[in-house]
Amino acid sequence: MTLISSFSAGLKAAGALALCALLPVQAVQAEEPSRIVSIGGAVTEIVYALGQEDRLVARDTTSNFPAKAAALPNVGYARALSPEGVLSVDPDLILASEGSGPPETLAVLKQAGVTYVEVPEIYSAAGVIAKIQTVADALDQSEAGQALITQVSDELSAAQALAQKTAGDSPKRVLFVLSTQAGRITASGTGTGADGIITMAGAVNAISEFEGYKQLTDEAIAAAAPDVILAMDRGGDHGLTKDSIQSLPALMLTPAAQNGALIRMDGALLLQFGPRAASAVKDLSQAIYRAAQ
């Protein structure tokens, strides 16, 4: 290679480097997702807690906190999504809680050329942190994510320590009732959000013989002998009341019914395991040990 050709090649290389330096950062890096669909109440709460709500274009029906999330387009119930509904808002990222579905919808969404991130659903303090970490990573918000993790971890540690102190050596037995349809009780066993939050609140799930939610016989409920009955607050006079637990044959002979020990709590706060989980632990623990006095 001659001196002139070598010098010319050097100029071309220098020019290319200079051109790259002048290009906007977004031209040489992948653009951050700006049209996000959030599926799952806790997932949506985390997006807001990270200060990234301006990137949301839609949410599911379980995403009702904070209240301003209700202004977003609703793509349907997390477990009964349609691909058309989700894709109609032209997302470039879907953040979805584990367990969203149905499977055939997820298959279509994952093949649609849209980034799909599954957020783990683990019913524990560690599970809350894993959710925050997953969402923060997906949104490229490492600094804000770490700050939120530190805050929530501290709050959860304090809430659980207080719950254990309140429970002492005599943790109360709690029966979580999901449904009383036709007078039959559907309750929580192990491995559910209800089981997780009861444990974190310093109490014991009265049902440990099965996983998930199942309909119980009257005999099984009597044998469980719950000190407290826990249910979601469905508003108004819907759902269980102190009068109804004392009149339902399936419940009336339990210590909880005889003492009128019923707790009704907001299901979103109680079961979603998001940034407000420490508040759920604290509120539930106080309610359990107040009701069981």
Which pLDDT band, with edges at 50, 70 and 90, does 235 fall under? low
Any alpha helices (H) in 31-112, and if so which ranges? 41-49, 83-87, 103-110
End-to-end CA separation in angstroms for the chain: 93
* 145 in the same domain as 98: yes
Whether 247 maps to a domain, the answer reads: yes
| Distance between CA atoms of residues 116 and 213, nearest Å | 28
At a CB cut-off of 8 Å and minimum separation 6, what does 190 contact? Answer: 205, 207, 208, 210, 211
pLDDT over 90 (residue 8): no
Q: Tell me the CB-side half-sphere exposure of residue 275, using CA atoms within 13 A.
A: 23
Which pLDDT band, with edges at 50, 70 and 90, does 238 fall under? low
Least confident of 66-70, 89-93, 235-239: 235-239
**How high is the pLDDT of residue 168?**
95
* 271 in the same domain as 178: yes
Say how many domains are in the chain: 2
State the residue range of the domain holding 205. 167-291
Instruction: Indicate the residue among 82, 117, 152 that finishes a domain.
Output: 152
* 136 in the same domain as 111: yes
* 43 in the same domain as 110: yes
* Short-list 212, 214, 205, 174, CA closest to 191: 212
Whether 28 maps to a domain, the answer reads: no
Q: What are the tens digits of pLDDT across the range 79-88?
A: 999 999 999 9
* 143 in the same domain as 100: yes
| Distance between CA atoms of residues 291 and 31, nearest Å | 53
Instruction: Identify residue 227 by its one-letter amino acid code.
Output: D
Does residue 279 contact residue 160 with C-beta atoms inside 8 Å? no
**How high is the pLDDT of residue 32?**
85
* 73 in the same domain as 124: yes
| Distance between CA atoms of residues 78 and 269, nearest Å | 17
* 227 in the same domain as 137: no
**How high is the pLDDT of residue 57?**
98
| Distance between CA atoms of residues 96 and 134, nearest Å | 11
b (16+ CB within 10 A) / e for 122-133: ebebebbbbbbb
pLDDT, mean over the chain: 90
**How high is the pLDDT of residue 183?**
86
At a CB cut-off of 8 Å and minimum separation 6, what does 111 contact? Answer: none
pLDDT over 90 (residue 151): yes
Whether 17 maps to a domain, the answer reads: no
pLDDT over 70 (residue 199): yes
Q: What are the tens digits of pLDDT across the range 21-73?
A: 444 433 334 578 999 999 999 999 999 999 999 999 999 999 999 999 999 99
* 177 in the same domain as 106: no
High-pLDDT (> 70) share of the chain, %: 88
* 106 in the same domain as 191: no
pLDDT over 80 (residue 271): yes
pLDDT over 60 (residue 230): yes
pLDDT over 80 (residue 175): yes
Whether 234 maps to a domain, the answer reads: yes
Does residue 131 contact residue 273 with C-beta atoms inside 8 Å? yes
Whether 172 maps to a domain, the answer reads: yes
| Distance between CA atoms of residues 286 and 291, nearest Å | 8
Domain at 216, CATH number? 3.40.50.1980
pLDDT over 80 (residue 19): no
The neighbouring-strand residues paired with 176 are 230
Average pLDDT over residues 242-260: 93
Does residue 288 contact residue 175 with C-beta atoms inside 8 Å? no
* 178 in the same domain as 137: no
**How high is the pLDDT of residue 68?**
97
Whether 30 maps to a domain, the answer reads: no
| Distance between CA atoms of residues 230 and 284, nearest Å | 9
